[in-house]
């Protein structure tokens, strides 16, 4: 007794499963052996990003750090923000330390999501000064402007 031939739909589903499975093999090998494979981690590396609505719920004192260019900072910045970027890190760091408090949350921002200066400044603060409670503002200055037109 021969088995009934699979319907076209069943055949398509079976073939799809085969393709999905076949692609898995080189993908797993790439994750193991590829010289440019991504480094595995459960959470996104770098400093935690937060958005403005989360920040407004915080009760701790906040220290805003502006990691944009000097010209952008001079034009406009978050009220009370401190200017600190890697162009003049040594010159600007003492000013940040004057206002830092152990219970303060530090939020670093730069222009937008595409800008990586805020992550760079935040990571450097973590690494060099061993500070915790450092965050990066999601979407940066662009999100501040959206909420504060």
Partner 1 sequence: MAAIQPMKTIALWICRLLLGGTFAYAAVQKIAEPTAFATDIEHFRLLPHPLTLALALYLPWLELFCSAAVLARKYEPSALLLIALMCGVFFIALTSAWCRDLDINCGCFGHSNATSALPWAIARSLALGLLALLLFKQSPSVSSQ
Partner 2 sequence: MPLTAPTFFRSLAAFILTALFLPTFCFGTLTWTTQRIELTTKPSEKVATGNFHFVNSGSETVTITSVQASCGCTTATLEKHRYAPGEAGEIKTVFTLGDRVGEQEKSISVVTDESPTARTTLLLHVTIPELLLYAPRLLIWNIGDALGEKTTVISTNSNRQIATITLTLPLPKEVTALLEPVEAGMKYKLIVRPVSTTQVMNVSLECVVTFADATSQHCKIYLLVR
Residues that bind partner 2 (CB under 8 A): 69, 71, 85-91, 93-94, 97-98, 100-102, 114-117, 120, 128-131
Question: What's the 3-state SS for 23-51?
Answer: HHHHHHHHHHHCCCCCCCCCCCCCCCEEC
Q: Which is nearer to partner 2, 33 or 71 (CB)?
A: 71
Q: Which is nearer to partner 1, 49 or 93 (CB)?
A: 49
Residue 141 CB: number of other CB atoms within 10 A? 23
Those residues whose C-beta lies under 8 Å from the C-beta of residue 22, and which sit 6 or more positions away, are: none
Interstrand relation of 49-50 and 82-83 (parallel, antiparallel or unpaired): unpaired
Q: Which is nearer to partner 2, 54 or 128 (CB)?
A: 128
Smallest gap from residue 120 Cβ to partner 2 (A)? 8
Residue 67 CB: number of other CB atoms within 10 A? 29
Residue 101 binds which entry of partner 1, partner 2, none, CB below 5-8 Å type-dependent: partner 2
Smallest gap from residue 133 Cβ to partner 1 (A)? 21
């Amino acid at each position: 007794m021969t088995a009934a031939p699979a319907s076209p739909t069943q055949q398509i589903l079976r073939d799809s499963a085969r393709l999905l499975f076949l692609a898995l093999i080189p993908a797993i090998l790439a994750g193991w052996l590829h010289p440019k494979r991504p480094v595995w981690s459960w959470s996104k590396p770098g400093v935690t990003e937060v958005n403005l609505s989360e920040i407004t719920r915080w009760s701790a004192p906040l220290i805003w750090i502006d990691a944009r260019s000097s010209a952008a900072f001079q034009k406009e910045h978050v009220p009370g923000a401190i200017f600190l970027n890697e162009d003049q890190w040594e010159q600007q760091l003492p000013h940040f330390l004057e206002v830092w408090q152990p219970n303060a949350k530090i939020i670093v921002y730069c222009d937008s999501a595409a800008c990586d200066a805020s992550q760079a400044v935040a990571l450097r603060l973590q690494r060099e000064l061993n500070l915790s409670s450092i965050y990066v503002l999601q979407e940066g200055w662009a999100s501040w402007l959206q909420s504060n037109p």
